[in-house]
């Protein structure tokens, strides 16, 4: 794994627009929403939840430790809210479009730990945590796609998505907007709490 950029983020450098919130979005179907791969020419940035307008970040209770929950907090320009997506080649899971999609290991720029699906759980409400990165764990493999209907991003766990037969997306629990709300995996996408904007830093 290449060395992470230890970029100090300034609020002035971040475009923190959360995107337009959607309500009552229909379930995914072959005729509604297509998946497009995330642009490959980026290095490091913040993920902002469309529903809450808050940043994806490890909880401070055990920031450098395995098992620390990943939550949302008010964006503040700190390095702990920056993530680097490291390409892993391609992975496949069944979806309406079929084919292969770029896979990433998503690494926190502050802690150096990886975004992870705790214990490889594939049911709705699975806990998203950070864990020491390794090259073999399938729970650390993610897809980042653009929802062509909204232009927002959806972050999928490949293992959980493969087991469920469709996208298991990172979402803020119950669509809550408060600081400290833990991230979960949830089947399907469309609601704004399951979509993100990306603010490139470096």
Give the C-alpha separation, 19 to 161, whole Å: 25
Evaluate if pTM is beyond 0.85: no
Domain architecture of the chain: domains with CATH: 38-200 (2.80.10.50)
Report the run of H or E that residue 143 belongs to, with start and end. strand 142-147
Give the C-alpha separation, 92 to 27, whole Å: 21
Task: Answer yes or no: are the C-beta atoms of 145 and 101 closer than 8 Å.
Answer: yes
Residue 80's closest CA among 93, 99, 61, 95?
Answer: 61
202 residues of the chain, pLDDT tens digit each: 333 333 222 222 222 222 222 223 233 333 334 455 566 555 689 999 999 999 999 997 788 889 899 999 999 999 999 999 888 888 877 665 666 778 899 999 999 999 999 988 989 999 999 999 998 899 999 998 888 888 899 999 999 988 887 889 999 888 899 999 999 999 888 789 999 998 888 7
Alpha helices, DSSP H, located in the chain = 158-164
């Amino acid at each position: 794994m290449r060395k992470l950029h230890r970029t100090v983020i300034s609020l002035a450098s971040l475009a923190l627009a959360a995107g337009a919130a959607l309500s009552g979005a229909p379930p995914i179907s072959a005729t509604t929403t297509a998946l497009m791969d995330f642009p490959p020419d980026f290095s490091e940035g913040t993920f902002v939840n469309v529903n809450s307008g808050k940043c994806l970040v490890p909880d401070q209770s055990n920031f450098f430790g395995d098992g620390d929950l990943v939550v949302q907090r008010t964006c503040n320009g700190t390095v702990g809210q920056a993530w680097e997506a490291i390409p892993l080649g391609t992975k496949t899971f069944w979806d309406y479009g079929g084919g292969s999609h770029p896979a990433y290991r998503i690494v926190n720029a502050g802690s150096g730990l990886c975004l992870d699906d705790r214990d490889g759980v594939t049911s709705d409400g699975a806990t998203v945590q950070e864990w020491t990165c390794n090259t073999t764990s399938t729970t650390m493999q993610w897809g980042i796609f653009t929802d062509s209907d909204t232009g927002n991003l959806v972050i999928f766990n490949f293992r959980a998505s493969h087991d469920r037969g469709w996208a298991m997306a990172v979402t803020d629990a119950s669509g809550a907007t408060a600081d400290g709300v833990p991230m979960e995996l949830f089947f399907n996408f469309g609601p704004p709490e399951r979509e993100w904007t990306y603010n490139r830093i470096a």
